[in-house]
Structure formats: C-alpha cells, structure tokens
Amino acid sequence: MSRMEELIEQLNKYAYHYYVLDNPIISDGQYDKLYDELAALEKAENRVLPSSPTRRIGGEPIKEFAPHTHLNKLYSLDKRNSFEELAAWDEKIKKAAAGDVEYTLEYKLDGLTLCLTYEDGYFRCASTRGNGTVGEDVTAQVSTVKSIPLEIPFKGVLEVQGEGIMRLSALNEYNKTAKEPLKNARNGVAGAIRNLDPKVTAKRNLDIIFYNVNYKRGGDGKLLSSQAECIEFLKANRFKTEMLFCTKSMSEIIDAIKNVDKNNLDFLIDGMVIKVDDFALREELGYTDKFPRWAMAYKFEAEEAVTKLNDVIWQVGRTGKLTPLGRLEPVELCGATIKNATLNNYGDICRKGIKIGSTVFIRRSNDVIPEILGIAEELDGKEVPIPKTCPACGAELYENGANIFCPNDYGCKPQVCGRIEHFCTKACMDIDGVSEKTIERLYDTLNVRSVIDLYNLDKDKLSMIEGFKEKKTANFLSSVENSKNVKLGNFINALGIPNVGRKTAEDLAEKYKNIDALAGADMESLLSVDEVGDIVANSIISFFEKHKALVERFKEIGINPQYAANSGGILDGLKIVLTGKISMPRGEATAIIENLGGKVQSSVTKDTDLVIAGEDAGSKLEKARKLGVKIIDDNEFKSLINS
Ligand code: IVH
C-alpha cells in the first residue's frame, strides 16, 4: 500500500510537470515503467486509490448522464462586439465604483464549460454547465483529462470552473489517423465530453483551462479577494490557467485585444474576457438573471460559417496538380462575402465525405483562401465526380496518392502559365511587370510556351501586347536581361522542381554550388542535405533526367549561376522575424531580406536579432518586447532596405 501511495504521488507530480507546466522532468520511458508497476500492484491488491493516474484511461461506457446540481449557479457572460461598446461598459463600471477600476484580461476560450468538484483534497466529480443550476455528470469523461489534478493541497470543498478544450495540435494529431476526422476543435471537445464511452474521450487528449472558483468552503479558510488571487489559488492547486494581465486602463486592454494573434495560439478563442478584479466591487455590481455585471466578453467576428456547396470545379496548377474549388452559396465571414473555398485535393473530399448540395462548414484564417472543413448537414447531396480528363486541355488524368494530375506538361495552358509566373517572382528570377494577365497574353499572342521563350522577346514582339508601352517594354526587357545574374538558390527555386521550395533550393545551392553538380547528384548525396528525404530526392533526380535539355538551353542564354555565400549585405547573418501586416507580400519581404544576407525565422526566440512588426502584430511582437529583441515597424523596414 505504501508503495502504491508513493508511486501515485510521484506519477502525479511528473504528470503535473508534463501536462500543466509543460516542462517534463522524467522521460516517457521512466514514467511508463513506474506506471506499469502501479497498475500491476493495483491488480494484485484489487484496489485503486482515489488519485491513481490509472483512473485516467477511461472506465466502462456509462448508460446515461446523471444530473448534477452545482453548488453555486454558473453564470454565462454578456458580450460586446466593438471597442466603443466596451469603453461605454468601462465608463458605467467606473461610475458605479466612483473611481478607477482594476480589470483582468483573459482569453475567451472556445470550448465547453466544465465544473469540477473537489472534496478533502480529492477530485470527486465533474459536470457540464447545463442550465447554470443543473448540469450533466461527466466525471468519467473528465477523469481522462491528463492535465487536471486528481489530488490538490486544498482540503475543503471546492468547485472550480474552466473550459474544456481540444488543443489544435491535439486535433491535428488526432485527424492524422482518425477514420472520421473532426471538423474543428470545438466539436472535438463537445463530442468527446458528451460521449457515453470515456475511452473515446481519452483518445481525444483534451485539456481544461480554469478561470473561476465557483465555490470554496473550509480548507485553509481564506477568502479570495480578487481575480488575480483566484488565479494564484488555482495555480497553487495545480490547475492550468491562462490569465494575461491586470490593468486600470481600458485603452491598454483594447490595445492588447487588437494585438492578440489568434493564429499563434494552440487553442481556439472566440473573444477576450474582461473582469473586474476586486471581489468587493464585484459584490456591489452583482448579477443580472444570466450574467455577472462585473465581467464582459469582447467577441471576435466569426471565422467559421455554414453554407451550401453548389458545385466543385477543378483548377490546374503549375505542377499539373488539380485542386478542387468549392463554389458556395455566398456567405458573410470576417466582413467579406465568400463564394469559393478550397478542398485541398481529391483525398480531402473523400475523407471529409463532401457532397455537392450539402451544407458545409467553412473557415477563414487571415487572408488565405477559405477552406471547407467538413459537412454540416448532408441533405440530398450527390458525390463529387472524379474528373477523368483535364478541364483545361482535355488530356487524360492520372492519380498519385491523394492527388490527381494532368500529364500534359507543355500543352496545358494553366501549367505553362503557372510555371512562367512562378519563374518571374521575386524569390526566383525577379522579372518585373508580368502579371497573370500579361503571361496569358504572352501565351496567346506571342506563343510563349516556356520560360526560355521570355529571353527571345524583343520590342517589336512586345508591341503586340496590350499595355506594353515604351517604358514598360524597356523595363521588362532590362529586367529579363538582369535576371541572368540570378543567384543560384533563386535559380533552383525558379526551375519549379516538384517538392522543392525556396528553403530547400537555398540549401541545395549551398551544398552543390552550381547547377551541373546538382543535376548530377545521386540519391545518397541528396539525402545528406538538410530536410531532404526520399520524396524530395527522387523528385530532384527525375526532374533533371527529364530536363537535361532545359539546363543546356539556360546555359546558352547565359544563365549558369555559381553559388556565392551571402556576405556584405546590410542584414548579413541577422535572424529576422516578420509579423503583422506589412506593405509587401511576405514572399517578397523574405526574398529581400535573404538577398541582403539575413535569414527569416518563423518564431521569435532568444537568438532573434530583429523583429519587423507591421500593423496588428500580436504575440510575436509581445514576445520580442519581453526578450528585449530590437523591433522596427514597416516604414523603418522600408527605409532600411532602401538604404
Ligand atoms: S467567466 C461568472 N472566463 O464563455 C463568470 N468564461 O459565453 C463565468 N468562457 O459560459 C464565466 N473563457 O464557458 C469566463 N476566461 C473566461 C472564459 C469563459 C471562455 C466561456 C464560459 C462561459 C461562456 C460565455
């Protein structure tokens, strides 16, 4: 028995460090060994102590959810949708308080409210909010959440409230192997908690973040007097919390809300919560029927919507890959009218069970094209037909993995134009003045069929193209001429080798120093390059087998770049992070930084030398400030690169 107690204490401590503090102190293997020892002892003794971690695996399915009466009513939150309304609320609160008011700022977590009861230091039961007074008992399901403490230092009666969530990383992991992928993290958590079989819940790897002490009696006998103290109390009892800060300034809160970088969090939020910190003032302000008057949610605009899928069309990209595009019944999302959304590839359509005529969930994040997440309601949907011939050129298509391809590399217009467009971008040959429209005109009028043809254009030919007046023609021709001095990494990127992006192109340039060495590289040699695996290596080998003539043609034109290490640029060796909205496309900013010798990182670390923060920069900017990293804005960045 004493060994069992000892093991439970150790295992719970390790789990706390791993799941709550995010700072493991032993290896998984060591943990598993101790866990197995405990499980064996429990079997031999036929006894499982109340805080044993073996209780987390999820017991037998239950027949129904029993009702659970909360010790105190669970309130919901009133909400505001604009900063003006929020400021007006602040004025009202300050008037009632007859002075300044300290507020706390928290995330409004988008999951499922859960209420956990502890007695004598042990986890006793968990319930959903229900109607605020009576919820459903979900103890068996919540027991499987590895981050909740099964035993706490507080020895009285305690009810704590938090939000059950599924982390986006957990959702991703789950969907990698799931037969039926989850549409989103909110459905993921709600479905898992309201599932009668706790083993299903356990598989979802849920988490709970706590924000409220709903009831507290006995134990240390201390009264909590503020939200900050409440969060400290929760932390001291090993609950996971996420409070941001306290302040008396509503404009500081509004600034912080503007700066929240939702896309950098590992959980969904649908707004922010502002709470009066002082409990005595809360008492004075009181409650309406449904809401506390001392708290307010600021709701973000919805990023997901449901609408009807009217049709699916197929678009051909530069690699010949067909991408399905959903035609939607127009719907408002984040202040824009959405008519199209992507479905990634054919495999994605099958996995999500998408049918034409059904209603679908769509999501939009930042400025990327909206995505269809899954079916909302099946209705009388019809299967999405697999195209057999290319919608652009009529060639017979072939399947490769989850994708469908058009084999007609040189005779399929969108493929040819897509390759030319890619070739001309800043991160490739940096040829100016070639929009998608221009490339189509070059294709239609001047018979441009390959990137090589760009080097045979002249004034006379270009005069046949709409928009090519004298100045534009001169600029274009000199830009084409200048492109012959391209750097090796950009040139490799420009070739458009399938599966080779900008970063890999740069790594290949560094390793092989010229195109002949790369074209002659074998499997073993390629695999020694950072992040190059079988697929990429094969792709490179077969590209050069197929395109020997192309490389020779480039040489004839005078394009045969040799690798030169970046040096002497004004950003030489600097590690730089871009965040927020800047006034040029990210790809372009990255190319400029690299041309000046800098390296672009995706996240701010202590090694970061410089952060370029555009409008609406969020958590990366915050982190840079915390770490004391040098920060410049969009205008300073522009003058820096122009210098
Ligand atoms: S406090 C008495 N804080 O939002 C105040 N709620 O729309 C009780 N929620 O029912 C709520 N994050 O499920 C509070 N930081 C947070 C929250 C939060 C998410 C949920 C909660 C509530 C719903 C209201």
273, 283, 285: which to mutate for ligand 1, most atoms within 8 A of CB?
A: 273
For 82, the token pair is 């604009």
The pLDDT assigned to 641 comes to 82
- Taking 70 as the threshold, does the pLDDT of residue 365 lie above it? no
The pLDDT assigned to 12 comes to 95
Indicate which atom in ligand 1 lies nearest the CA of residue 242. Answer: 15
- Taking 80 as the threshold, does the pLDDT of residue 73 lie above it? yes
Confidence of residue 545 (pLDDT cuts 50, 70, 90): very high
Q: Which CATH superfamily hosts domain 79-294?
A: DNA ligase/mRNA capping enzyme (3.30.470.30)
At 362, phi and psi to the nearest 5?
Answer: -125, 150
74, 81, 103, 113: which to mutate for ligand 1, most atoms within 8 A of CB?
A: 113
The pLDDT assigned to 378 comes to 75
Tens-place pLDDT, residues 298-334: 988 777 889 999 999 999 999 999 999 999 999 988 7
The pLDDT assigned to 368 comes to 61
**Distance of alpha carbon 62 from alpha carbon 65, whole angstroms:** 8
Q: How far is the CA of 336 from the centre of ligand 1 (A)?
A: 28
The pLDDT assigned to 57 comes to 84
Whose Cα sits closest to atom 10 in ligand 1? 76
The pLDDT assigned to 290 comes to 84
What's the per-residue H, E or C state across 220-241? CCCCCCEHHHHHHHHHHCCCCC
CATH (residue range 488-556): 1.10.150.20
Chain region(s) in the chain for CATH 1.10.287.610: 2-57
Q: How far is the CA of 525 from the centre of ligand 1 (A)?
A: 56
Q: Are 99 and 123 in contact (CB under 8 A)?
A: no
The pLDDT assigned to 567 comes to 59
Indicate which atom in ligand 1 lies nearest the CA of residue 107. Answer: 15
Q: Report the pLDDT averaged over residues 480-486.
A: 93
Q: Which CATH architecture has domain 413-485?
A: Orthogonal Bundle (1.10)
Q: How far is the CA of 143 from the centre of ligand 1 (A)?
A: 21
Chain region(s) in the chain for CATH 1.10.150.20: 413-485, 488-556
Whose Cα sits closest to atom 22 in ligand 1? 76
**Distance of alpha carbon 325 from alpha carbon 316, whole angstroms:** 11
Whose Cα sits closest to atom 17 in ligand 1? 108
Compute the mean pLDDT over every residue in the chain, rounded to the nearest whole number.
91
Indicate which atom in ligand 1 lies nearest the CA of residue 76. Answer: 10
Confidence of residue 148 (pLDDT cuts 50, 70, 90): very high
What is the CATH class of 2-57? mainly alpha
Name which of 138-142, 282-286, 597-601 the model is least confident about.
597-601
**Distance of alpha carbon 587 from alpha carbon 608, whole angstroms:** 19
Tokens 């919608």: give the residue: 391
Whose Cα sits closest to atom 14 in ligand 1? 211
Q: Report the pLDDT averaged over residues 609-616.
A: 89
The pLDDT assigned to 335 comes to 66
For 597, the token pair is 């010798």
The pLDDT assigned to 458 comes to 94
Tens-place pLDDT, residues 176-235: 888 778 878 888 899 899 889 999 999 999 999 999 999 999 998 899 999 999 999 999
Q: Given its phi and psi angles, is residue 293 left (phi above 0), alpha (psi -120 to 50 degrees) or beta? A: alpha
70, 163, 213, 270: which to mutate for ligand 1, most atoms within 8 A of CB?
A: 163
Chain region(s) in the chain for CATH 3.30.470.30: 79-294
Q: Which residues belong to the active site? A: 108
Confidence of residue 484 (pLDDT cuts 50, 70, 90): very high
Indicate which atom in ligand 1 lies nearest the CA of residue 79. Answer: 7
Tens-place pLDDT, residues 512-543: 999 999 999 999 999 998 778 999 999 999 99
**Distance of alpha carbon 29 from alpha carbon 285, whole angstroms:** 52
CA nearest to 613, candidates 596, 631, 600, 639: 631
Q: How far apart are the first and last CA of the chain?
A: 73
Confidence of residue 253 (pLDDT cuts 50, 70, 90): very high
Q: How far is the CA of 16 from the centre of ligand 1 (A)?
A: 24
**Distance of alpha carbon 383 from alpha carbon 363, whole angstroms:** 22
Tens-place pLDDT, residues 616-636: 888 888 889 888 889 999 888
Whose Cα sits closest to atom 7 in ligand 1? 77
- Taking 90 as the threshold, does the pLDDT of residue 49 lie above it? yes
Chain region(s) in the chain for CATH 3.40.50.10190: 575-642
The pLDDT assigned to 569 comes to 75
Q: Report the pLDDT averaged over residues 371-396.
A: 89
Three-point CA angle 601, 174, 48, nearest 5°: 120
Q: How far is the CA of 211 from the centre of ligand 1 (A)?
A: 8
Q: How far is the CA of 5 from the centre of ligand 1 (A)?
A: 36
80, 104, 109: which to mutate for ligand 1, most atoms within 8 A of CB?
A: 109
For 381, the token pair is 């949907």
Chain region(s) in the chain for CATH 2.40.50.140: 304-405
Q: Are 241 and 211 in contact (CB under 8 A)?
A: yes
Confidence of residue 252 (pLDDT cuts 50, 70, 90): very high
Q: Residues of the chain with pLDDT > 90: what percent?
A: 67
Q: How far is the CA of 76 from the centre of ligand 1 (A)?
A: 6
Q: How far is the CA of 167 from the centre of ligand 1 (A)?
A: 17
Instruction: From the options 3.30.70.1520, 3.30.2010.10, 3.40.50.620, 3.40.50.10190, give the CATH code of 575-642.
Output: 3.40.50.10190
Q: Report the pLDDT averaged over residues 261-281.
A: 93
CATH (residue range 304-405): 2.40.50.140
Tens-place pLDDT, residues 487-519: 999 999 999 998 898 888 999 999 999 999 999
User: Who contacts 217 (Cβ-Cβ below 8 Å, separation ≥6)?
Assistant: 156, 157, 158
Indicate which atom in ligand 1 lies nearest the CA of residue 214. Answer: 2
Ligand 1 binding pocket (C-beta < 6 A) is 75-77, 106, 108-109, 113, 163, 211-212, 273, 292, 295, 297
Confidence of residue 598 (pLDDT cuts 50, 70, 90): confident
The percent helix, strand, coil of the chain (3-state, each to 5) is: 40, 25, 40
